[in-house]
Amino acid sequence: MIELQVDQSKLKQLYEEAIHKHLDELDSEKVYWDSNELKRRTCMSWNTIQNTFFFEEDFPKVKLGGKWYFPAEETKRFLNEWLKQRR
């Protein structure tokens, strides 16, 4: 026969640490995406992005120097709405 004893206080501590770690990761989410992050988040190639929504007037983007930046929250909202319209 196998008997298992669990320290409830230690289990609770480990659970709370895992939750705090996850919340810290969410808080540290990027404010802006670059083109590589946009490709990663959409699972699309750069050519597909440009051929589908990049040049739409309301797609949020800013070019600084030679690099494109996309405000993360605005871009998420745009992409969700854009996809809904394609259904």
Rounded Cα gap, residues 3 and 23, in angstroms: 35
**52: phi then psi, degrees, rounded to nearest 5:** -110, -60
C-beta neighbour count of 41 within 10 angstroms: 15
What lies within 8 Å, CB to CB, of 41 at 6+ separation is 33, 79
Taking only the tens place, the pLDDT of each residue in 20-47 is: 787 677 656 788 999 999 999 999 999 9
What pLDDT does residue 28 have?
Answer: 61
What pLDDT does residue 26 have?
Answer: 62
Taking only the tens place, the pLDDT of each residue in 47-58 is: 999 999 999 999
